């Protein structure tokens, strides 16, 4: 109730009195009250999920209600709190028993929240070309969402597949397909951000494969992994050359 009161005060202050400083004070107090009430009522994974949902709603509401994507991006960094708290979920022993548990849903909801906010701020310019979100902040949200989604894929495959080599191989192939999707989409649509994202993910996967996983995999796993990833890369080069020739 106190949170809603301060939210109403922030909205009325911004709409009627046009006092930005008062609006920021009211909004800040509302967030503090909400976070405190949540911490009193919840703990563990439930607290992290609640913080993730609350921070996402606050950031999205600030952007669209006040028509200020930069304010929304600033408030989206409230997600740093659940991101730091989720370290315990990544290192949890529950991953050795299966997939569908509280730790899985913490990482899933965090991934969705970060990627959804990044996408909404990226698309904001289509609705309001005079008030565009900060590209660097959007990139940080995408990077965070990619990290948690890739971590979720890695942990889930290792939990579902008994043989580590097979889980590693499946993870790297999925990462490669995702990176190539972004790279090819960026190349075909002249989207520099997608091209860079795809190249970074692909470079990271390649470095991981060559410096870590290659020394831990059996010979059969090495052959299959290099064959599939090599085939995907060759196919990508043909797509890029075809677009260049057509142009």
How many CB atoms neighbour CB 58 within 10 A? Answer: 21
Q: Per residue in 169-194, is it b (16+ CB within 10 Å) or e — as a string?
A: bbbbbebbebbbebbbebbeeeeeeb
pLDDT in tens, 25-73: 667 777 777 888 888 888 889 999 999 999 998 888 878 777 778 888 8
Q: What pLDDT, on the 0 to 100 scale, is given for residue 226? A: 79
Question: Which tokens hold the place of 11?
Answer: 């909205």
Distance, first Cα to last Cα, the chain: 60
Farthest CA pair distance, the chain? 71
Q: What is the pLDDT of residue 18?
A: 61
Q: What is the pLDDT of residue 217?
A: 74
Check residue 162 and give its pLDDT.
77
Residue 113 in this model has a pLDDT that exceeds 80: yes
Tokens of residue 225, six digits: 């992994």
Residue 197's nearest CA partner among 244, 247, 147 is 147
179-215 per-position pLDDT tens digit? 888 877 777 777 777 777 777 887 777 777 777 677 7
Percentage of residues in the chain having pLDDT higher than 90:
15
Buried b (16+ CB within 10 A) or exposed e, 66-93: bebbbbbbebbebbebbbebbeebeebe
């Amino acid at each position: 109730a106190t949170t809603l009161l301060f939210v109403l005060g922030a909205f009325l202050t911004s709409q009627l009195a046009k006092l930005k400083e008062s609006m920021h004070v009211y909004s800040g107090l509302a967030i503090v009250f909400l976070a405190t009430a949540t911490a009193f009522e919840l703990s563990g994974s439930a607290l992290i999920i609640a913080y993730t949902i609350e921070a996402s709603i606050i950031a999205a509401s600030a952007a669209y209600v006040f028509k200020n994507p930069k304010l929304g991006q600033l408030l989206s960094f409230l997600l740093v709190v659940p991101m730091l708290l989720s370290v315990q979920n990544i290192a949890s022993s529950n991953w050795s028993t299966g997939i569908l548990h509280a730790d899985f849903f913490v990482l899933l909801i965090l991934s969705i929240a970060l990627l959804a906010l990044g996408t909404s701020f990226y698309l904001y310019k289509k609705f309001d070309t005079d008030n565009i979100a900060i590209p660097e902040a959007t990139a940080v949200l995408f990077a965070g969402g990619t990290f948690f989604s890739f971590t979720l894929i890695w942990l889930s495959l290792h939990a579902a597949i008994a043989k580590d080599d097979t889980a590693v191989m499946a993870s790297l192939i999925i990462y490669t397909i995702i990176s190539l999707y972004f790279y090819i989409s960026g190349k075909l649509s002249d989207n520099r951000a997608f091209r860079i994202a795809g190249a970074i993910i692909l470079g990271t996967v390649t470095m991981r494969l060559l410096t870590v996983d290659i020394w831990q995999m059996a010979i059969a796993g090495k052959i299959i992994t290099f064959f599939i990833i090599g085939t995907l890369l060759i196919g990508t080069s043909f797509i890029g050359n075809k677009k260049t020739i057509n142009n």
